[in-house]
């Protein structure tokens, strides 16, 4: 089936290796069909005037998936999917999806879920709009690829059934608490504050010459003395003018308002962990030691915070829904009789 229609369905890691039980008998051959159906790998009992018209590629509980269905599904998948594998790999991937899809449709029918004609008509109309809005042309293209319009309608109806049962069994049962949202925001604070600016000051104490260990020791003592003086109430701007070797010394070490990423990460990380008014411990670089002060920072507005919480809520809900879906689908597979005959 087409990947675009299965937002929650991931590609399974491997095919089912073997049948877990004997396959149910094949459905009867339609009268006057002029042909016979055979299982994959079996020699058909073809008599004069007969021809093989189809074969079974999978059995899912009491239903079979025919090669013709698989071929139609591959064509529909290729219409909308880009970068799809080719040949047998594509067939196996699509067949796995068909099996998972058939299990969901069967579950929807057990749940007595139905799709009305009007709802199906809307989905078909949407498919036509997304593919050029020319139904006659789409029908001609599909027919040339061996797909009938009725097969398309059947595919879309079954997609709706699968979507409806997933909503009932998975999505509606996935919940996210406000405490979970708050915890995620706290753990990923920098990500959600990435667009907020901050105002900082800077004092640089260089090791001169940088090749001298004694110069480095002196620079560290000077930087520690500056931090101690600031802790005792000294004015950062005055110390920057008197002691800093950075070009910003003339303006009291003022770096102005900075966007995230403008400073080296070795400086910005410790700086942004401060509260306004606090200073960093001396930070070593290749040139010497640096002391920063956080003057101000832009905070999340109520509107932006509400938007961030909704994004987190959606993200966590999607993650939980995916986990529940994987568990639910695995349960359907464990209870099902599945035979792959590709």
Q: What are phi and psi of 333, to 5 degrees?
A: -65, -40
Query: Whole-angstrom Cα distance, residue 93 to residue 10?
Result: 10
SS3 category, 24: coil
The pair of three-digit structure tokens given for residue 190, joined into one six-digit string: 């920098």
Give me the residue label for tokens 């879309």.
Answer: 156
Tell me, what's the pLDDT at 230?
95
SS3 category, 56: strand
CATH number for the domain whose boundaries are 3-175+316-340: 1.10.4030.10
Residue bearing the bigger pLDDT, 291 or 175: 291
The arithmetic mean of pLDDT across residues 94-116, rounded, is 91
Question: How many residues would you count in the chain?
Answer: 342
**Residue 248 β-bridge partners:** none
The pair of three-digit structure tokens given for residue 90, joined into one six-digit string: 């594509």
Residue bearing the bigger pLDDT, 77 or 137: 137
CATH number for 194-297 (one of 3.10.50.40, 2.30.30.280, 3.40.50.2000, 3.40.605.10): it is 3.10.50.40
Assess whether pLDDT exceeds 90 at residue 268. yes
Q: List the chain domain ranges.
A: 3-175+316-340, 194-297
**Residue 340 β-bridge partners:** 58
Query: Whole-angstrom Cα distance, residue 313 to residue 301?
Result: 18
Assess whether pLDDT exceeds 90 at residue 294. yes
pLDDT tens digits, residue range 19-28?
223 333 333 3
pLDDT tens digits, residue range 130-158?
888 889 998 898 888 777 888 888 889 98
Prediction pTM value: 0.55
Query: Whole-angstrom Cα distance, residue 93 to residue 101?
Result: 12
How far, in Å, are 85, 188, 233, 248 from residue 175 at the CA level?
36, 20, 50, 51
């Amino acid at each position: 089936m087409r990947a675009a229609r299965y937002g929650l369905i991931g590609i399974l890691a491997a095919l089912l290796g073997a049948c877990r039980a004997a396959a149910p008998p094949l459905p009867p051959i339609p009268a006057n069909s002029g042909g016979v159906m055979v299982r994959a790998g079996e020699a058909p009992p073809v008599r004069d005037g007969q021809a093989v018209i189809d074969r079974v590629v999978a059995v899912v509980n009491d239903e079979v998936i025919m090669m013709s269905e698989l071929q139609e599904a591959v064509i529909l998948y290729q219409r909308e999917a880009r970068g799809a594998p080719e040949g047998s790999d594509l067939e196996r991937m699509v067949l796995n999806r068909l099996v998972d899809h058939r299990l969901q449709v069967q579950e929807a029918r057990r749940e007595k879920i139905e799709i009305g004609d009007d709802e199906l008509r809307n989905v078909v109309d949407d498919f036509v709009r997304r593919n050029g809005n020319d139904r006659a042309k789409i029908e001609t293209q599909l027919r040339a690829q061996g797909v009938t319009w009725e097969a398309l309608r059947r595919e879309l109806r079954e997609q709706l059934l699968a979507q409806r049962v997933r909503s009932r069994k998975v999505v509606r049962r996935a919940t996210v608490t406000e405490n979970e949202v708050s915890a995620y925001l706290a753990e990923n604070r920098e990500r959600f504050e990435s667009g907020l600016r901050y105002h900082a000051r800077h004092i640089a104490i260089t090791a001169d010459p940088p090749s001298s260990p004694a110069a480095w020791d002196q620079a560290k003592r000077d930087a520690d003395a500056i931090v101690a003086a600031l802790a005792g109430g000294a004015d950062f701007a005055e110390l920057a003018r008197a002691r800093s070797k950075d070009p910003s010394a003339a303006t009291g070490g003022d770096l102005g308002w900075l966007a995230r990423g403008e400073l080296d990460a070795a400086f910005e990380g410790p700086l942004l962990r401060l509260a306004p008014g606090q200073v960093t411990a001396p930070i070593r670089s290749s040139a010497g030691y640096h002391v920063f002060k956080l003057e101000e920072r832009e905070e999340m507005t109520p509107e932006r915070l509400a938007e961030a919480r909704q994004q987190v809520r959606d993200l966590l809900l999607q993650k939980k829904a995916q986990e529940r879906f994987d568990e639910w689908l695995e349960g359907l597979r464990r209870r099902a009789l599945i035979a792959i005959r590709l």
